[in-house]
Structure 1
Amino acid sequence: MTLTGKLAASAIAAGLLLTTGAAYAQDAGAAIKARQGQFRIMALNIGVLGGMAKGEIDYDAELAQIAADNLVAVSTINQMVNWPEGSDNASVENTRALPVIWENLPDVVSKWEDFGTAATAMQAAAGTGVEGIQGAIGQLGGRCKACHDDYRAPE
């Protein structure tokens, strides 16, 4: 390849990298919406189970199982696409994600896996009766709190 060809190829490659980076940065908004939607699904289902545990909602084995199954399903979503760098509350609006997340990704991933373990325990307990939910709800809420305490800004 001639020098001119090499320069042209390098310029094209650099342009593609810059374009890809800009497109990825623009997707931070989509990633934030996706993860917030995921957290809303979690909150809805934990709310059902928590309501049953507190006696605020009549125990319904089928509904409890659905809620627990939903939590397990959400816990299996690979989080890496939902957390692009620059999608924190110091960089963009409409998120409470703290920048420290990207400094401690192994801990964040570990806490997400712990949530999955607690969701699986709830899945096993949900259909067994309100006592089963009561026994598993604290662990589930504790897994949420563990991440929120370290990685989510207050409202």
Structure 2
Amino acid sequence: MPPIPRLPIRCTAIAALLASALTTPLLAQSDERQDPNIAARQNLMQLQAYNLGVLGGMAQGRMAYDAEMAATAASNLVHLTRLNTDRMWAEGTDNAAVEGTRALPAIWADMEGFAARGAALTAAAEAMEAAAGVDLATLQGAIGGLGGACSGCHQNFRQAD
């Protein structure tokens, strides 16, 4: 029997993350089912946070810098920010209308501003992708822009913790 071909680490990591994201809501559901739009976007945010955590951990010295791991996390972020998420942001899925979400009604009141924040996140993720695998100093130089893009959206469109 021929050996099973190994997927590149990026494909394997993305497949594992997506499998986790797709099964987590199924495992966590109670008798009261969560809106699939909310579940999908929350899982997307978890995937983004996971990859940002790798990059932030390296930038802050909480984990050793690994060029390949950093490049993979940054590439994952770029791919995640380029997904078409329109269906995940259905009207009536804000925190004033349903429980279990921190999405503010401001998203739907200012969809143009919300989309602009999404575009800023994609641009910051692309800048990180160019920087992450170079060296630690270059990654550290790009992390602020990425974190700023995340917090810029959260300040206006997500309920505070």
State if a TM-score over 0.5 links the two structures: yes
Q: Which residue of 2 aligns with 1:42?
A: 48
Deviations 1:130-149 (CA, angstroms, capped at 9, x unpaired):
11110000000000111100
Which of the two has greater helix per residue?
1
Rounded to whole Å, the distance in 1 between the matches of 2:37 and 2:138 is: 35
Cα-Cα RMSD: 1.2
SS at match of 1:65: helix
Deviations 1:41-82 (CA, angstroms, capped at 9, x unpaired):
111111100010011110101100110000000010122111
Of 48, 63, 68, the residue aligned with 1:62 is 68
Q: Which residue of 1 aligns with 2:130?
A: 124
Q: Which residue of 2 aligns with 1:23?
A: none
Runs of 4+ in 1 over 3 A off after TM superposition: none
Q: Give the alignment's TM-score, normalised by structure 1.
A: 0.81
Does 1:78 find its partner at 2:78?
no
Rounded to whole Å, the distance in 2 between the matches of 1:28 and 1:41 is: 19
**Percent of matched pairs sharing the same residue:** 47
Q: Which residue of 2 aligns with 1:98?
A: 104
Rounded to whole Å, the distance in 2 between the matches of 1:90 and 1:127 is: 41
The structure that has the greater radius of gyration is 1
Q: What is the total number of aligned residue pairs between the two structures?
A: 129
Unaligned runs of 5+ in 2: 1-32
